[in-house]
């Protein structure tokens, strides 16, 4: 059979490997780390388990599809539950808001807490749905860079309605037009961070994201987020995909503008008919393809934000918290100016706490909770991270202690830290960005690198730094797009 090599076992690399196997390729995945999953990994320490990266699971249908494509029963590998509560929101003025998954309940609760009617909220969700329905198949499910995409019916439909997509406005402006209450504007502005962007810059079309959360729901995988990686890895193994860990790929071998295979760090050369890179596109060009011409404009796109995470083992239970919790900053504009202009962190960042032990009691010792405490920060450009970490820890502890009415530092018995430097070194993500390039302008979708090479035959790209973008669902879709492209290229 024909041979395919996948460089990296991030979630997109796993999805691509499974789909290419199902197309009849013999697939070999090379992974620099000792474990699969890249950003989607886990750690165990002193009785606590923590998911290291992603914590919000949406659109599980894209995981399901891989099992259907492989003719396996998903329930033999992977189970997940829908959440009734999407997120708990806390504001410095004492406001607390529980976002329910049920749209009517969300709107009703919002009308009790904020200066808004339930109808204003549901009409926002309706428009959000409309935007998604008009554009999903165009922006997410196909290669944006092949002519056939531009000629499809969906494209024509989307372009005809371009006014209502709010592409020329920012997310913040769209939300300000809809809502009076600054607390509610902040809540809906937050969706810009789902792809590492700023609400004051990202186009208004991003207001489709709340629809994904409300309509398709949010989910929790049994055993934690890492079970997404584990189950796809197990599926790939059962199908017969080969994995080699702790093995870094040094170069993609190209002859006469055709990808021929790879060279490993130990000089070993491995031939292949198709090469797929799941490595971030910037280092893919800078290292694996250093002798080839690079698409400079694409590679210079500003990156999405990164994260600073404290994994805290907390010896106390907080009934007012759930799986996802947000503690808003007082000045959202300032927070994003710091991240994207000053490349620094404000003294009052919005704090996100994820607690998987709310669902999986084994993730923390009895009467304790495993807190994943995250703030959005700029990408790594050589800032003094040790100082930023110290200052941010103090600010976060003060903020959470104030709002929750406890002395939090006395309750922390375990601490691990992940920052932009370590995200970069552990996954090769350029600047440690979470979602590849940012969506801080309206052309971002078109400026992401395509899933194939325009110059080199048999070379493809998947993962959060290329089309259609970052986050688990989009990464899984990139694996689908790559395997469809390879199928079509094979036919020619």
Choosing from 17, 165, 249, 281, the residue that interacts with ligand FAD (CB under 6 A) is 249
Interface with ligand FAD includes 309 (CB under 6 A)? Answer: yes
74 or 279: CB nearest ligand FAD: 279
> Edge to edge, what strands does the sheet with 85-90 contain?
96-100, 85-90, 324-327, 351-355, 369-377, 306-314, 412-418
Interface with ligand FAD includes 397 (CB under 6 A)? Answer: no
Pick the closest to residue 426 from 55, 52, 38 (CA basis). 38
Stretch of residues binding ligand FAD (CB under 6 A), selected from 111-119, 140-148, 175-183, 465-473:
465-473
Distance of CA 273 to CAs 203, 289, 405, Å? 40, 17, 61
Pick the closest to residue 33 from 19, 52, 57, 54 (CA basis). 52
Report the C-alpha gap between 443 and 437 in whole angstroms: 12
Helix (H, G, I), strand (E, B) or coil at 169: coil
Stretch of residues binding ligand FAD (CB under 6 A), selected from 4-12, 110-118, 207-215, 341-349:
4-12
Distance of CA 387 to CAs 254, 348, 409, 419, Å? 44, 15, 18, 12
Question: For residue 146, with 0-12 CB atoms within 10 Å meaning exposed, 13-18 middle and 19 or more buried, which class applies?
Answer: middle
Residue 281 CB, shortest distance to ligand FAD, in Å, is 10
Question: For residue 211, with 0-12 CB atoms within 10 Å meaning exposed, 13-18 middle and 19 or more buried, which class applies?
Answer: buried
Helices H, strands E: what count in the chain? 17, 20
Choosing from 185, 423, 444, 485, the residue that interacts with ligand FAD (CB under 6 A) is 423
> Edge to edge, what strands does the sheet with 269-271 contain?
249-255, 258-264, 269-271
33 or 155: CB nearest ligand FAD: 33
Report the C-alpha gap between 489 and 492 in whole angstroms: 5
> Count of residues binding ligand FAD (CB under 6 A)?
36
Residue carrying structure tokens 């809809």:
178
135 or 478: CB nearest ligand FAD: 478
Choosing from 4, 5, 9, 139, the residue that interacts with ligand FAD (CB under 6 A) is 9
Residue 112 CB, shortest distance to ligand FAD, in Å, is 28
343 or 426: CB nearest ligand FAD: 426
Interface with ligand FAD includes 236 (CB under 6 A)? Answer: no
Residue 163 CB, shortest distance to ligand FAD, in Å, is 30
Choosing from 4, 6, 7, 351, the residue that interacts with ligand FAD (CB under 6 A) is 7
Q: Are strands 274-277 and 459-461 parallel, antiparallel or unpaired?
A: parallel
Interface with ligand FAD includes 279 (CB under 6 A)? Answer: yes
Residue 216 CB, shortest distance to ligand FAD, in Å, is 13
Interface with ligand FAD includes 472 (CB under 6 A)? Answer: yes
Interaction pattern, residues 37-76, with ligand FAD; x per rule: CB under 6 A: -xxx------------xxxx--------------------
Interface with ligand FAD includes 428 (CB under 6 A)? Answer: yes
Choosing from 224, 379, 450, 464, the residue that interacts with ligand FAD (CB under 6 A) is 464
Encoded tokens for 359: 């669902």
Binding residues for ligand FAD, rule: CB under 6 A, are 7-13, 30-33, 38-40, 53-56, 248-249, 278-279, 307, 309, 423, 427-429, 434-435, 463-464, 470-472, 475
């Amino acid at each position: 059979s024909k041979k395919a090599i996948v460089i990296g076992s991030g979630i997109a690399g796993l999805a691509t490997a499974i789909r290419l196997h199902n197309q009849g390729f013999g697939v070999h995945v090379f992974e620099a780390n000792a474990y699969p999953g890249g950003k989607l990994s886990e750690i165990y320490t002193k009785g606590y388990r923590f998911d290291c990266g992603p914590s919000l699971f949406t659109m599980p249908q894209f995981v399901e599809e891989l099992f259907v494509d492989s003719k396996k029963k998903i329930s033999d590998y992977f189970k997940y539950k829908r959440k009734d509560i999407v997120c708990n929101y806390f504001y410095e003025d004492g406001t607390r808001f529980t976002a329910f998954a049920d749209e009517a309940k969300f709107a009703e609760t919002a009308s009790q807490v904020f200066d808004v009617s339930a109808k204003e909220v549901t009409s926002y969700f309706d428009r959000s749905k409309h935007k998604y329905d008009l554009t999903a198949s165009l922006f997410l499910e196909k290669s944006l860079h092949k002519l056939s995409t531009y000629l499809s019916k969906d494209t024509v439909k989307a372009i005809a309605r371009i006014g209502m997509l709010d592409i020329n406005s920012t997310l913040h402006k769209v939300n300000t037009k809809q809502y009076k209450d600054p607390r509610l504007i902040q809540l809906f502005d937050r969706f810009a961070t789902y792809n590492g962007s700023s609400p004051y810059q990202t186009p208004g079309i991003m207001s489709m994201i709340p629809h994904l959360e409300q309509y398709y729901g949010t989910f929790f995988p049994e055993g934690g987020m890492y079970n997404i990686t584990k189950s796809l890895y197990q599926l790939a193994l059962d199908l017969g995909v080969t994995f080699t860990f702790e093995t870094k790929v040094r170069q993609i071998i190209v002859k006469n503008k055709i990808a021929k295979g790879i060279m490993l760090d130990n000089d070993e050369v491995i031939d292949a008919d198709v090469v797929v890179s799941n490595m971030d596109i910037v280092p893919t060009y800078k290292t694996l393809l250093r002798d080839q011409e690079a698409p400079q404009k694409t590679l210079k796109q500003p990156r999405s934000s990164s994260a600073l995470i404290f994994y805290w083992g907390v010896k106390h239970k907080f009934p007012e918290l759930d799986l996802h919790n947000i503690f808003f900053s007082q000045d959202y504009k300032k927070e994003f100016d710091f991240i994207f202009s000053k490349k620094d962190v404000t003294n009052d960042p919005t704090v996100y706490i994820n607690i998987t032990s709310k669902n999986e009691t084994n993730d923390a010792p009895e009467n304790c909770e495993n807190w994943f405490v995250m703030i959005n920060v700029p990408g790594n450009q050589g800032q003094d991270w040790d100082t930023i970490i110290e200052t941010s820890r103090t600010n976060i502890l003060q903020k959470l202690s104030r709002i929750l009415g406890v002395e939090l530092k006395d309750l922390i018995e375990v601490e691990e830290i992940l920052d932009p430097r370590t995200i970069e070194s552990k996954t090769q993500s350029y600047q440690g960005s979470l979602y590849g390039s940012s969506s801080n302008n309206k052309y971002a979708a078109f400026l992401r690198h395509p899933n194939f090479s325009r110059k080199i035959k048999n070379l493809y790209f998947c993962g959060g730094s290329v089309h259609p973008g970052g986050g688990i669902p989009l990464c899984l879709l990139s694996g689908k797009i790559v395997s469809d492209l390879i199928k079509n290229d094979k036919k020619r």
